[in-house]
Chains A and B, each alone.
Chain A
Amino acid sequence: MLDWQFFSLLLSNGILIGLMYSLIALGFVLVYKATDAINFAQGEFVMIAGWGVAAAMALYGAPLWLAVAAGLGGMIGFGFGLERVVLRPLIGRPIVAVIMATIGLAAVLRGLGPLLWGAETRSLSLPISDSPIVWGPLFIPPIQLLGAVVSLLFLAAFGWFFLKSRKGIAMRAVADNQQVAMAMGINVERYFALAWAMAGVVSALGGIIWGSLLGVDVHLALVGFKVFPVVILGGLDSVPGAILGGLIVGIVENVAAGYVDPWVGGGTKDFAPYLLMIIALMVRPYGIFGKATIERV
């Protein structure tokens, strides 16, 4: 195989995987945009959603459509419940309290999966072929293509929601300043709940797609780690940033693994996105599309 062909393979793979990262990153952005808090349990949301769908099929014999519907419904309920029980009492408290709550939540969810559905790895098979679509020099796995299409659709829908819809504008107002939003008559608690529920939907979709790609167990939460470089690069509060950040991370890690791994013995895929993240933090800490906060002192 010629080098340009191999490069195009890595590039196409990186783009598809990157868009799938964007979907997970979107959950992160949704919560940050609405609540100004960073959800450190985003990977665990994805894991628990995927695990629930896989277990519904394996343990309870549910058909795929029902398991997916239950997964989406369950994660919306989970988002609402989480806001009501854990996060609402923290409104007005320092942001660090919300962050610590999400870190605690991540640990609880990692234990909850095996407790509810057993520790073994479950497969989450979608009714699509495992054989690649061969298109010229490219080998495109159908699951990655599906993941990329779903990601783009949802990214477009949420982009429209935030930019054009009244609720989206209200949500941004809440994120901008909770006290002012309250004074303007916006029901802050309702928008917080909506944001967490939307993060639940994205997590369910991410869990189904990534679970189908990798299998489902506690390791599925590791996908969440890739979200950090994605959102730091793109900007914590930016939907287009989630797309661009996802693409950059997907491409960089694939190309690095393809070309640098043979020289260093492996592992580049894991550190290259974080190296990029550190550089981004030094050069443009609010990300490519992020909001540069100016504080007067």
Chain B
Amino acid sequence: MKRGLAILIGLMVALGASLGGVSPAAASHEIVIGLQCDRTGATQVVGVNWCPGYHDYVALVNSKGGVEGHKIKVLEIDHEYKVPPAMEGYERFKKEGAVLIGLYGTPHTYALMKKLTEDKIPGTSPGFGSAGAANGSKYPYIFPIAATYWSQAAASVKWAKDQLGGSLKGKKIAYLMYDNPAGHEPKEIFEDLAKLEGFELKIFAVPPPGVEMGAQTLDIAQRYRADFVIAHLFGRSPSVSIKELKRVGYPLKKVVSFVWGSAEADVEAAGGYGVAEGYAGLQFAGVGQDYPVLNEIREMYKKQGKPAPKEMTQSAYYNRGPMVAAVHLEAIRNAVKAKPDGKITGADVKAGFEKVKGLTLGGLIPPLEFSPSDHEGGGWVQVFQVKGGKFVKATDWFKAYPEVVGKHVKEAK
């Protein structure tokens, strides 16, 4: 009798345990994201740091049970900053059921814009082109989710104005740009602002891969004699620009870089902080390692008995990984809230993006807020400047000339 009772109790416990397991986790549905990376190729300096940051944040969320009980699976392709592998990778992502694509690169975004819209899969293009995609009404499936090149152009002019005593009237600004679609994108904003603020603008194009720009920097410093330089370079070229401007005697405190030339890696490749004193750069995510979300990632590694990832020391690029991942997962969270079984589509995620509000990741990112018409989230940036051997925050989050940028976003073709 006693034995029979024990068996009965055992069966009941087992049944209870199995019933208890019917929680969201048991009903979980794996949600797939496609991520483009460039761990090799012309701009690999970004990808080798950004992509680990992205994966670390997703692993952190998965370690806590996923998004509303659903695990996130990230598929990655390394496209070497080349469009054809990006296109092939996209088809694979689509086949594997990706509901969201983390794009990387302006030419790649241009190439995939039409497809993403046709397939109703949202793609994010943080900090690069197409700037016109900030207009959600015209580009429903592209989400810049961070300051576009138009907003960066406006912010860099504002920074230059502040550094030159509050007026740009009669000043000469050199725009040193990487000669590809990304470099050309902000030209129209500069031209408008040149008229508005009364400065002279001269464009200096650097052909890819941008490892030589001696003649351009010589011209900027000695013939044109620019009062300020706004640099929009990436990959190898930012570090070369720092060295070359220094070599022709141009003061680096009169240089501000767009977001892809303003990282620790660029300064280190240029020869270190001693060389780059005064060099300023725009950021759309915080720089440094002292943010709550990074502490959580370090703690996750510690629990696994592993050291913190070495990529964290390249904080300008690494920190953009958790930033982008957090925005992605917040959009998915919003989508899953509407469909708790987790069987969400790209269209659901698109709607999820448009509901993101007040996401700050403890100060790592600006207060992002998207809507069906605004896919950029405000166009916020911060400036960090090399001072005393490190990047120091020089401004709070700000956006500049919203009326000029807004006009272009409204008229985006």
Query: Are A258 and B215 also in contact (CB < 8 A) when A215-B270, A266-B179 are?
Result: yes
A:233-277 near B, CB below 8 Å: 253-254, 257-258, 261-262, 265-267, 269-270
- Nearest-Cβ distance from residue A138 to partner chain B, whole angstroms: 10
For B265, list chain A residues within 8 Å (CB): 120-121
Total interface residues on A, using CB and 8 Å?
A: 40
Of the 9-residue stretches A75-83, A124-132, A166-174, which lies at the interface with chain B? Answer: A124-132
Which residue of chain B lies nearest to A141 when distances are taken between CB atoms in the complex?
B247
Whether A266 contacts B206 by the Cβ 8 Å rule is yes
- Nearest-Cβ distance from residue A88 to partner chain B, whole angstroms: 33
What 0/1 readout, one digit per residue, does chain B (237-270) give for beta carbons within 8 Å of chain A? 0011001001111000000000000000100111
Of the 9-residue stretches A5-13, A34-42, A152-160, A185-193, which lies at the interface with chain B? Answer: A5-13
For B45, list chain A residues within 8 Å (CB): 120-121
For B303, list chain A residues within 8 Å (CB): none
Whether B222 contacts A222 by the Cβ 8 Å rule is no
For B216, list chain A residues within 8 Å (CB): 257, 261, 266
A:1-33 near B, CB below 8 Å: 1, 5-6, 9-10, 13, 17
How far is it, in angstroms, between the C-alpha of A75 and the C-alpha of B311 when the chains are bound?
Answer: 31
For A214, list chain B residues within 8 Å (CB): 211-212, 236, 240, 243
Which residue of chain B lies nearest to A215 when distances are taken between CB atoms in the complex?
B269
Whether A267 contacts B179 by the Cβ 8 Å rule is yes
Of the candidates B209, B215, B222, B243, which one forms a contact with A269 in the assembled complex, judged by CB atoms under 8 Å apart?
B215
CB of B272 closer than 8 Å to a CB of A: yes
- Nearest-Cβ distance from residue B352 to partner chain A, whole angstroms: 34
Whether B222 contacts A1 by the Cβ 8 Å rule is yes
A:90-137 near B, CB below 8 Å: 114, 119-123, 125, 130-132, 134
Whether B218 contacts A130 by the Cβ 8 Å rule is no
What 0/1 readout, one digit per residue, does chain A (204-225) give for beta carbons within 8 Å of chain B? 0000000001110101101000
Whether B240 contacts A257 by the Cβ 8 Å rule is no
Query: Are A131 and B249 also in contact (CB < 8 A) when A1-B225, A13-B214, A121-B45 are?
Result: yes
For A10, list chain B residues within 8 Å (CB): 215, 218
Query: Are A219 and B211 also in contact (CB < 8 A) when A119-B48, A121-B236 are?
Result: yes
Q: Most chain-B Cβ atoms within 10 A of its Cβ — which of A120, A132, A144, A254?
A: A120
For B212, list chain A residues within 8 Å (CB): 214, 269
How far is it, in angstroms, between the C-alpha of A134 and the C-alpha of B222 when the chains are bound?
Answer: 12
Of the candidates B219, B236, B247, B275, which one forms a contact with A217 in the assembled complex, judged by CB atoms under 8 Å apart?
B236
- Nearest-Cβ distance from residue B95 to partner chain A, whole angstroms: 29
Which residue of chain A lies nearest to B240 when distances are taken between CB atoms in the complex?
A214
CB of B204 closer than 8 Å to a CB of A: yes
Which residue of chain B lies nearest to A217 when distances are taken between CB atoms in the complex?
B236
Whether A266 contacts B272 by the Cβ 8 Å rule is no
How far is it, in angstroms, between the C-alpha of A257 and the C-alpha of B213 when the chains are bound?
Answer: 9
- Nearest-Cβ distance from residue A91 to partner chain B, whole angstroms: 36
- Nearest-Cβ distance from residue A228 to partner chain B, whole angstroms: 16
CB of A162 closer than 8 Å to a CB of B: no
- Nearest-Cβ distance from residue B225 to partner chain A, whole angstroms: 7
Of the candidates B215, B222, B243, B249, which one forms a contact with A257 in the assembled complex, judged by CB atoms under 8 Å apart?
B215
For B48, list chain A residues within 8 Å (CB): 119-120
Whether B204 contacts A266 by the Cβ 8 Å rule is yes
CB of B328 closer than 8 Å to a CB of A: no
For A219, list chain B residues within 8 Å (CB): 209, 211, 236
CB of B320 closer than 8 Å to a CB of A: no
Of the candidates B44, B222, B247, which one forms a contact with A130 in the assembled complex, judged by CB atoms under 8 Å apart?
B247
Whether A130 contacts B236 by the Cβ 8 Å rule is no
Query: Are A270 and B268 also in contact (CB < 8 A) when A1-B225, A10-B215, A213-B243 are?
Result: no
Query: Are A139 and B271 also in contact (CB < 8 A) when A120-B48, A215-B240 are?
Result: no
Q: Which residues of A does B touch, CB under 8 Å?
A: 1, 5-6, 9-10, 13, 17, 114, 119-123, 125, 130-132, 134, 139, 141, 143-144, 213-215, 217, 219-220, 222, 253-254, 257-258, 261-262, 265-267, 269-270
Chosen A-B contacts, 23 in total, with CB atoms closer than 8 Å, are: A1-B225, A121-B239, A121-B268, A122-B269, A123-B269, A123-B271, A123-B272, A125-B271, A130-B275, A134-B249, A139-B221, A139-B248, A214-B236, A215-B239, A215-B269, A215-B270, A222-B209, A258-B218, A258-B219, A261-B215, A265-B203, A266-B179, A267-B179
